[in-house]
Amino acid sequence: MDQSSEPQPLPPSPSSSPPGPESLPINFSELERDKKPIRSGAGGTVYKAVHKPTGRLYAVKVIDGIDFRDYSVRRQIIQEFQVLRDVANPNIVKCYDMFNHNDDIYVLLEYMEGGSLKGKYINNEKALSDLARQILTGLTFLHGRHVAHMDIKPSNLLINSRHEVKIADFVGRVLAKTMDPCNSSVGNIAYMCPERINTDLNHGNFDACTGDIWSVGVSILEFYIGRYPFSAHKGDWSLMWGICMSQPPEAPIYASRELRHFIACCLQREPKKRPSAAQLLQHPFISGNSSGQK
């Protein structure tokens, strides 16, 4: 990292609890970042970094193009980062610190050595149930604090060597220039619910938390069948038409009754009929309280 002009950390949150051993303030110049990125996307580019004094590994997300000279932008970023920094849940990637340097934002994150679950094929229902439970546990925490992720998809689900699955990459959404929840530029269209894509549905109302539940259903079904569950479409317009106009995909007939019902609950076209993340944690597919498990 460039040490010629030391980036300044954003001010601490007054409500934050005292930092633990792994969240003590880190000097930016003590981080050595790999040149090759781990992953990149619209929200920024992520690199692995090592804290040289301790040898601890971190992920550093670089978000460019932020006009930090704009007071309103700066205030919004600081306020929203304080929310992120206070998020403490075993199924959400921890955000430790954030630096501003030459109008780029450097976000110091928990390192997940197993990478993302993008492209994973998980046809074992017990393993899939445990995966879904961890995702829903993280979402229950966020939704209970009136925070929606709005971009749940396999590439934003990370795993570590302890087989812990954690939700990642809502920093880019929080720092988005537009905070309109229906704006399709925030998130991946392939995992968006119909009423977010077509605002004429559901009378123009959109609940971001129920949108997250739809995204969970699409992701879990994708893991189970080993491919994106909607029929192949060419171009965004065709894909959006398929999501909005066609019947939601279903789990295959060879899946257990519990899994088929779980997917059907998540992929309800009527948002109000989708259970909450907390309610889905009690579903037989997650809780195992059923004798019909395949």
Residues known to be catalytic: 151
> Exposure string (b/e) for 250-263, b if CB count within 10 Å is 16 or more?
ebeeebbebbbbbb
Signed CA dihedral, 206, 258, 290, 286: sign only = negative
224 φ/ψ angles, rounded to the nearest 5 degrees: -70, -40
Contact 47, 38 (CB under 8 A): yes
Strand partners, 56: 51
Question: Which residues is 45 bridged to in the sheet?
Answer: 40, 62
- Nearest-angstrom CA–CA distance, 175 and 182: 16
In angstroms, the CA 89 to CA 215 distance is: 20
Q: Where are the alpha helices (DSSP H) in the chain?
A: 71-85, 125-144, 171-174, 194-197, 208-225, 236-245, 257-266, 277-280, 284-287
* Sign of the dihedral defined by the CA atoms of residues 240, 260, 137, 92, in that order: negative
Helix (H) or strand (E) holding 264: helix 257-266
Beta carbons within 8 Å of 14's beta carbon, 6+ residues apart: none
Q: How far is CA 84 from CA 79, 81, 88, 114, 281, in A?
A: 9, 5, 9, 22, 24
Question: What distance lies between CA 115 and its chain's CA centroid?
Answer: 13
* Tokens 């546990």, residue located: 137
Which 3 state secondary structure label does DSSP give 67?
Answer: coil
